[in-house]
């Protein structure tokens, strides 16, 4: 039985922080649950942290990894057994920072593609305090970086809505060029895709990460550096200012 990914049910699901689950497997340092709100490392996005409370007390979740069966690293001597009931709670500040950073990455990638001759995103790493994106083929000047910053921050100020839906590969390709959405990197066996959309025609990208509901939650972006990664690839790093409004999480237990 694979772990049910509660955060993937909708954009709004990313705002929930508390859930109930049953332990489905254990090893010395990890437990697997039948359902989870914790995001595992993947797609360039770092994992969530938080706590799990079971029959033997409160445990810190230090790391979350896996596909299918999601492993929650809680350390040795957790004393949990298969069938135990646990109550999970996310670190909201870390989760929301990842949501802001990931949506910002979609904006930057879309702006670079549209503005600079179809330069593609070939890698990214989302952290709560900083993030990076690799592009190819491109060589950024300071003027180009300033243009990206201005365009992205203007869009953030417009506070456009972010939504998600399920689409087929054909439907995605009809709206966006396959090279922009990196469709060639997705296994051909995957026919139904979770797609994140910014406004109706601004950006559309297959993605299993967590995202904000509105661009105004991101806070202004600051590009803090660039670095050559060889063969026409350049990496830019960015940070985010604290937004004026940080939404409260939904603490209803699911």
pLDDT, tens digit, 9 for 90 and up, residues 221-234 = 999 999 999 989 99
Bridge-based pairing of strands 50-54 and 57-61 is: antiparallel
pLDDT higher than threshold 80 for residue 184 = no
Question: How confident is the model at residue 148, as a pLDDT?
Answer: 98
Task: Tell me whether residue 82 is in a domain.
Answer: yes
Spatial CA neighbour of 215 closest among 238, 243, 191, 188 = 243
Average pLDDT across the chain, whole number: 94
- Shared domain check, 163 and 147: yes
List Cβ neighbours of 151 (8 Å cut-off, separation of 6 or more). Answer: 111, 115
Both ends of the chain: CA-CA distance in Å? 19
Same domain, 212 and 108: yes
Instruction: Say if residue 229 is in the same domain as residue 216.
Output: yes
pLDDT at 185 over 90: no
Q: Is the pLDDT of residue 1 over 80?
A: no
CATH number for the domain including 184?
Answer: 3.30.980.10
Mean pLDDT across the stretch 102-127? 96
Instruction: Tell me if 41 is assigned to some domain.
Output: yes
Inside any domain, residue 158: yes
Which pLDDT value is given to residue 198?
A: 95
**Cα→Cα distances 86→63, 149, 188, 240, Å:** 17, 44, 37, 34
CA–CA distances in Å: residue 161 to residues 85, 149, 164, 198: 37, 20, 10, 6
63 and 176 both lie in a single domain: no
Q: Are residues 233 and 117 in the same domain?
A: yes
Query: Is it true that the peptide bond before 141 is cis, omega within 30 degrees of 0?
Result: no
What's the pLDDT score for residue 33?
98
Please tell me the predicted confidence (pLDDT) of residue 202. 86
Query: Is 246 among the domain residues?
Result: no
Residue 191 has pLDDT above 90, yes or no: no
112 and 235, same domain (yes or no):
yes
Please check whether residues 50 and 106 belong to one and the same domain: no
- Answer for the pair 198, 107: CB distance below 8 angstroms, yes or no: yes
Q: Which domain holds residue 138?
A: 95-240
The 8-class DSSP code of residue 108 comes to: H
Contacts of 254 (CB under 8 A, 6+ apart): 6, 16, 18, 19, 20, 37
Q: Are residues 167 and 222 in the same domain?
A: yes
Domain count for the chain, please give it: 2
pLDDT band of residue 175 (cuts 50, 70, 90) is confident
CATH code where residue 47 lies: 2.40.30.130
Distance, CA of 103 to CA of 215 (rounded, Å): 8
- State the average pLDDT over residues 18-25: 98
* Average pLDDT value for residue range 133-148: 97
- Judgement on whether residues 102 and 190 belong to the same structural domain of the protein: yes
The answer to whether residues 144 and 229 belong to one domain is: yes
Q: What is the pLDDT of residue 183?
A: 79
Q: In this structure, are 15 and 120 located in the same domain?
A: no
What integer pLDDT is reported at residue 189 of this predicted model?
78
Q: How confident is the model at residue 86 (pLDDT cuts 50, 70, 90)?
A: very high
pTM: 0.95
Domain boundary among 44, 72, 90: 90
| Assigned domain for 253 exists | no
Say yes or no: 180 and 193 in one domain.
yes
């Amino acid at each position: 039985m694979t772990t049910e990914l509660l955060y993937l049910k909708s954009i709004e699901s990313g705002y929930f922080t508390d859930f109930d689950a049953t332990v489905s497997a254990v090893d010395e340092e990890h437990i697997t649950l039948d359902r989870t709100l914790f995001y595992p490392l993947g797609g360039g996005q770092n994992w969530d942290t938080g706590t799990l409370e079971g029959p033997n007390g409160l445990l810190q979740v230090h790391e979350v990894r896996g596909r299918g069966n999601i492993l929650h690293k809680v350390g040795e001597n957790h004393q949990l057994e298969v069938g135990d009931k646990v109550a999970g709670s996310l670190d909201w500040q870390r989760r929301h920072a990842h949501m802001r950073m990931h949506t910002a990455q979609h904006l930057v990638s879309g702006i670079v593609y549209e503005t600079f001759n179809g330069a593609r995103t070939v890698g990214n790493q989302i952290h709560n305090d900083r993030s990076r994106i690799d592009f190819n083929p491109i060589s950024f000047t300071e003027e180009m970086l300033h243009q990206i910053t201005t365009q992205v921050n203007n869009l953030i100020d417009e506070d456009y809505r972010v939504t998600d839906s399920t689409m087929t590969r054909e439907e995605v390709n009809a709206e966006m060029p396959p090279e922009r959405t990196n469709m060639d990197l997705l296994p051909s066996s995957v026919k139904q895709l979770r797609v994140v959309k910014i406004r109706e025609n601004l950006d559309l990208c297959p993605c299993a990460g967590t995202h904000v509901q509105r661009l105004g939650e991101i806070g202004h972006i600051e590009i803090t550096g660039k670095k050559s990664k060889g063969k026409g690839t350049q990496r830019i790093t960015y940070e985010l200012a604290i937004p004026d409004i940080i939404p409260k999480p939904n603490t209803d237990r699911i």
